Amino acid sequence: MRLPLINQPVSLSIKGKSYVATCIDLFDGGFGYYFDAVFPKKTCHKFSVGEQCGIPELGDKYLADFVSYPTGEAWKVRFLILKWG
């Protein structure tokens, strides 16, 4: 399984639009891998629980589910990549 690299840009496809964020943390949550991403502050996308985004650089089958805003700031977002999906 390929995963985003810490301190490296990661491309995310959200509702047909491409965004670039920086992966700042990655950890094993048991049934999946969580990663925190920082978007440019000018990004105006508001995520909702369960929203999915593609990660084209990891392959077509990789989807990340929005989990939360871990620090309460709109540009820092936590995603989950399921191990079995």
CA distance 19 to 16: 10
- pLDDT, tens digit, 9 for 90 and up, residues 6-57: 999 999 998 889 999 999 999 999 989 999 999 998 887 888 888 999 999 8
pLDDT on residue 85: 56
pLDDT (0 to 100) of residue 8: 96
Span 50-85, pLDDT tens digits: 899 999 988 877 899 999 998 888 899 999 999 875
Which residues are CB-contacts of 77 (< 8 A; sequence separation ≥ 6)?
21, 36, 37, 38, 39, 47, 66, 68, 69, 70
Tell me the whole-structure pTM to 2 decimals: 0.88
Q: 12 and 23 in contact (C-beta within 8 Å)?
A: no
